[in-house]
């Protein structure tokens, strides 16, 4: 008998589903829920770029500011062909709850441009970034909205954004986080998200009283988040057995040598072809028997259709929204716990917060301080969430939304938004 598949819901509907459920459990005022249903502000802009071919290409870009009750808006900028308004809106909502869960003094925002950065030259990306910054610059500010990198963007993109913003408004390094260290970026920002993911796995293993050496880990995606997760998990003793990128995956059930893989990747530009390992597709990779499965690439990769085939004991959401609500339902029925994205990948925004405070104080922390402070916050929030989940008999995702919706609702009421 096959499991009935729930109808597909859009990314923002699925975040809202978690918020409504939390609001029901918390008896949140309907007026507050009404406010959280939509974004505070959504800017949709035409982004004209003169391509190398001399042709003028018009891209579509967005900046969505979901809720700023707890502080300035904060969230990454995604360059991806599928970065449409609904996806950006959902990611902005997630940022509101992620910042609240980590108790950072920020609201939630997200930006995106529908483009394919893999098929654009450096000059075209530079022009696109400057044009995008020019079109959304009026709603940014160090006490208003502070962008950061996300899929398809990186420290170089942030350097261009900072420069474009500075040309119009004056030198303002704190306007973006995730900048190169040479321009005021924080030490450790590049590894921050992956470190947070690895810390969550280490803490979960401790709850399970398991030795990381006995745990097999599969990671989908070998970009910023996936590669740092694999590297740091392997340093913590986990056995990373499979990884992938957009071109495909590799698997060695004895464990991959991540240092050797990094050397391979720096030359080949892909994990594919690395030996000793067997090639696997991204679909097969998700179904490899393992202890911890870490989707660290795209959203919506575990759905009502394939969740029945997952053979991991635990799913660790390093990407944003990698498990759809129907996927979640199937995993819950199969008693496979899901550590939610709002916790697992919050290391990035946490170090972005450290970067912002360092920029405001014109001071730089050494790497060791960044790592110590990040670990402290990740460990504390992990245990707060797991404690709440155990106390209330809720899933880790429900506990995460209970804690964060409660905090956001409180700030909304205190500020008199409703």
Nearest approach, Cβ of residue 166 and ligand NAD (Å): 23
Q: Is 355 in the site for ligand NAD (CB under 6 A)?
A: no
Q: Which conformational region is residue 203 in: left (phi greater than 0), alpha (psi within -120 to 50 degrees), or beta?
A: alpha
What binding mask, one character per residue, do residues 160-199 give for ligand NAD by CB under 6 A, x or -?
---------------------------------x------
* Per CB under 6 A, 343 contacts ligand NAD: no
Contact of 214 with 144, CB cutoff 8 Å: no
Q: Are 242 and 256 in contact (CB under 8 A)?
A: yes
Instruction: For the CB of residue 118, give the shortest distance to ligand NAD in the complex, in Å.
Output: 8
Q: Which is nearer to ligand NAD, 188 or 304 (CB)?
A: 188
Residue 113 makes contact with ligand NAD by CB under 6 A: no
Contact 331, 11 (CB under 8 A): no
- Read off the DSSP letter of residue 70: T
Q: How far is the CB of 111 from ligand NAD (least distance, A)?
A: 12
Report d(CA 100, CA 401) in Å as an integer: 9
Q: Which of 129, 177, 326, 345 binds ligand NAD (CB under 6 A)?
A: 345
- How many residues touch ligand NAD under the rule CB under 6 A: the total is 25
Token pair 């994990």: residue: 271
Q: Which residue has the tokens 């892909």?
A: 270
DSSP letter for 270, please.
S
Residue 282 binds ligand NAD, judged by CB under 6 A: yes
Q: Say whether residue 87 binds ligand NAD (CB under 6 A).
A: no
- Selected from 111, 188, 221, 340, the binder of ligand NAD by CB under 6 A is 221
Here's the x/- map for ligand NAD, 236-255, by CB under 6 A: it reads as --------xxx---------
The structure tokens listed for 207 are 């709850």
Contacts of 413 (CB under 8 A, 6+ apart): 29, 32
d(C-alpha 270, C-alpha 222), whole Å: 8
**Three-class secondary structure of residue 202 per DSSP:** helix
Among 47, 100, 136, 151, binds ligand NAD (CB under 6 A): 151
Q: Which residues contact ligand NAD by CB under 6 A?
A: 149-152, 193, 220-226, 244-246, 282, 296-299, 318-320, 345, 348
């Amino acid at each position: 008998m096959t499991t009935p598949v729930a109808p597909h819901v859009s990314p923002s509907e699925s975040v809202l589903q978690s918020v409504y459920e939390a609001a029901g459990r918390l008896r949140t005022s309907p007026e507050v829920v009404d406010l959280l249903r939509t974004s505070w502000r959504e800017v949709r802009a035409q982004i004209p770029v003169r391509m190398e071919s001399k042709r003028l290409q018009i891209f579509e870009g967005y900046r969505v500011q979901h809720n700023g009750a707890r502080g300035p808006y904060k969230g990454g900028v995604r360059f991806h062909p599928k970065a449409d308004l609904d996806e950006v809106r959902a990611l902005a909502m997630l940022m509101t709850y992620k910042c609240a869960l980590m108790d950072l003094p920020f609201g939630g925002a997200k930006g995106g441009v529908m483009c394919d950065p893999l098929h654009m030259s450096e000059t075209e990306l530079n022009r696109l970034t400057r044009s995008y910054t020019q079109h959304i610059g009026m709603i940014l500010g160090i006490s208003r909205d502070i962008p950061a990198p996300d899929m398809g963007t990186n420290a170089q993109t942030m350097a261009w954004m900072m420069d474009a913003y500075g040309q119009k408004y004056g030198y303002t390094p704190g306007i973006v986080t995730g900048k190169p260290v040479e321009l005021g970026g924080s030490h450790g920002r590049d590894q921050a998200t992956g470190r947070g993911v690895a810390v969550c796995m280490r803490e979960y293993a401790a709850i399970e009283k398991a030795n990381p050496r006995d745990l097999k880990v599969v990671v989908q995606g070998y970009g910023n988040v996936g590669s740092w997760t694999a590297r740091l998990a392997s340093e913590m003793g986990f056995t990373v057995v499979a990884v992938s990128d957009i071109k495909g995956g590799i698997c060695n059930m004895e464990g991959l040598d991540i240092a050797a893989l990094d050397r391979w990747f720096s030359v080949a530009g892909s994990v594919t072809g690395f030996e000793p390992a067997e090639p696997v597709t991204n679909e097969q990779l998700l179904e490899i028997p393992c202890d911890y499965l870490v989707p660290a690439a795209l959203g919506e990769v575990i759905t009502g259709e394939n969740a029945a085939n997952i053979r991991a004991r635990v799913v660790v959401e390093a990407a944003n929204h990698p498990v759809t609500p129907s996927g979640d339902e199937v995993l819950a029925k199969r008693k496979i716990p899901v550590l939610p994205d709002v916790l697992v990948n919050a290391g990035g925004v946490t170090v972005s917060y450290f970067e912002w405070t360092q920029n405001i104080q014109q001071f730089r922390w050494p790497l060791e301080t960044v790592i110590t402070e990040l670990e402290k916050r990740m460990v504390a929030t992990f245990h707060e969430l797991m404690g709440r989940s155990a106390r209330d008999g809720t899933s880790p995702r429900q506990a995460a939304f209970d804690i964060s919706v409660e905090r956001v609702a409180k700030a909304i009421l205190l500020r008199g938004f409703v």
